[in-house]
């Protein structure tokens, strides 16, 4: 496969400049002002008015296989990711069987090798069956997992989390933590704020998140492991992580697109607004945005979590937690953060590609000699988000019916076009 991408606005060295890119045998051969080719087997694309970004990396997705293929499959989820401009996604381990051993992990790897449209990197679980009692076979799985997580559940036992961090340190792997103190949940399912009080819903307090982050920061400081906080949603969490970075803790964190755009004032009685952690208060949203601006928040991950239509049709109280985001993340963030002047386009690309790639060891750079992992966008395209057009099997997203700018016109993975509009 040989491609010549002409007249593109290319993200190079954290700036955007107009260049041509020649791709052959999976790799970027040359980047220059005006490339011509006399070869007959080269497919030429005029990329005028298009922007070429390094492929996006989502370190937090749920592809639901094995075990829950009625919600999503690795094939449908990875195709949705390609449409959203992602070349790499990291698949969370709350599956059946949980990837807690070499044997169980192999079941997931076999499906990835057979069906994945883009690069899919599996997580291994921290504990056996994600039950928080016994460490998983971290040694056995280490070479085939991107990191370790018990996502969907907070690790309640301090001793187990410390043991996991020590083991991860010895393996040079990341512990990615879903931070949640079970005893503080008290049956809550949305944020313990004004909407919950006004409408008679049971709330989830902010301390259920930041309380466990505080514990984990202390453990990470003791063990010196690489520690990553999943889906940060509260202002207290942001401040704890900001201080931990100042103190030299090896810590990074992510937040989701929905936490940067919505707050609990935007809630309606619909399962498409129910996720874990929940949409917090407006001052939490503003603290997250400030954390993005000052670098406290390193990356944006969708926590793409598809469910069946029936599972999301039960309102705020009884719908399952989780929303989809792969196909709408960049347009929603570009529209709500870049076009409004909150962050620059270059900053958004760092949050969605360079930073997660650097932390999780995924090379995303557009450079000569590198694999061609490229996301191509028409930023002028305006449209209304319609979940019925999604490629994911999930339909529940709070961005439903939002007018956005930005359409992915091509995604190239290792030199092969995996999505083209």
307, 311, 316, 322: CA torsion to nearest 10: -10
Query: β-strands 56-61, 51-54: how paired?
Result: unpaired
Q: Where are the beta strands (DSSP E) in 118-200?
A: 119-122, 174-177, 190-191
Q: What is the chain's alpha carbon radius of gyration, rounded to the nearest angstrom?
A: 21
Q: How far is Cα 259 from Cα 282, in angstroms, rounded to an integer?
A: 10
Q: Which of 296, 350, 300, 341 is nearest to 14 (CA)?
A: 350
Residue among 130, 111, 64 nearest 91 (CA): 64
d(CA 374, CA 204): 39
Q: What is the Cα 41 distance to its own chain's centre? A: 36
Assess contact for 206 and 263: CB atoms under 8 A. Answer: no
Asked if 142 and 174 count as a contact pair (C-beta separation under 8 A), the reply is: no
Residue 176, token pair as written in the block: 């990615």
Check if 303 is active-site: yes
Tokens of 81: 């990711």
Is-contact 129 152, C-beta < 8 A?
Answer: no
Produce one character per residue of 254-283: b if its CB has 16 or more CB atoms within 10 Å, e if not: bbbbbbbbbbbeebeebbbbbbbbbbbbee
In sequence order, the 6+-apart residues with CB closer than 8 A to the CB of 150 are 93, 125, 126, 127, 130, 132, 177, 178
Burial class (CB in 10 A: 0-12, 13-18, 19+), 238: buried
Q: CB-based burial of residue 401 (10 Å sphere; 0-12 exposed, 13-18 middle, 19+ buried)?
A: exposed
Residue 178, Cβ neighbours under 10 Å: how many?
24
Q: Which of 303, 388, 389, 400 is catalytic?
A: 303
Name the one residue in this structure whose structure tokens are 């090798």: 113
Q: Which residues are catalytic?
A: 303
């Amino acid at each position: 496969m040989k491609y010549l991408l002409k007249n593109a606005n290319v993200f190079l060295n954290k700036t955007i400049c107009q260049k041509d890119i020649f791709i052959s045998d999976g790799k970027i051969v040359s980047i220059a002002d005006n490339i011509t080719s006399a070869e007959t087997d080269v497919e030429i694309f005029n990329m005028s008015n298009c922007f070429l970004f390094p492929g996006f990396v989502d370190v937090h997705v749920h592809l639901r296989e094995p075990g829950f293929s009625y919600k999503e499959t690795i094939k449908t989820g990875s195709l949705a990711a390609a449409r959203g401009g992602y070349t790499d996604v990291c698949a969370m381990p709350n599956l059946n069987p949980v990837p807690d051993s070499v044997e169980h992990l192999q079941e997931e790897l076999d499906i990835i090798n057979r069906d994945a449209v883009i690069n899919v990197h599996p997580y291994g679980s921290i504990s056996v069956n994600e039950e928080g009692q016994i460490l998983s076979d971290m040694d056995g799985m280490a070479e085939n997992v991107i990191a370790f997580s018990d996502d969907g559940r907070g690790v309640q036992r301090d001793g187990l989390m410390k043991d996991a961090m020590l083991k991860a340190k010895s393996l040079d792997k990341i512990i990615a933590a879903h931070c949640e103190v079970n005893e503080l949940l008290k049956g809550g399912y949305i944020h313990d704020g004004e909407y919950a009080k006004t409408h008679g819903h049971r709330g989830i307090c902010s301390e259920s998140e930041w309380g466990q982050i505080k514990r984990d920061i202390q453990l990470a400081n003791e063990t010196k492991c690489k520690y990553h906080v999943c889906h940060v949603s509260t202002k207290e969490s942001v401040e704890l992580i900001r201080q931990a970075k100042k103190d030299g803790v090896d810590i990074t964190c992510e937040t989701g697109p929905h936490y940067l755009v919505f707050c609990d004032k935007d809630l309606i009685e619909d399962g498409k607004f129910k996720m874990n952690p929940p949409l917090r208060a407006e001052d939490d949203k503003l603290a997250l945005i400030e954390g993005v601006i000052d670098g406290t928040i390193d990356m944006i991950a969708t926590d793409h979590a598809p469910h069946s239509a029936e599972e999301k049709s039960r309102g705020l109280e009884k719908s399952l937690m989780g929303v989809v985001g792969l196909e709408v993340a960049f347009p929603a963030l570009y529209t709500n953060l870049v076009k409004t002047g909150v962050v620059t386009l270059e900053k958004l690309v760092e949050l969605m590609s360079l930073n997660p790639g650097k932390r999780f060891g995924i090379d995303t750079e557009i450079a000569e000699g590198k694999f061609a992992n490229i996301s191509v966008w028409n930023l002028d395209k305006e449209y209304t988000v319609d979940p019925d057009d999604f490629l994911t099997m999930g339909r529940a997203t709070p961005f439903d019916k939002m007018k956005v700018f930005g359409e992915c016109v091509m995604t190239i993975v290792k030199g092969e076009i995996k999505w083209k509009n």
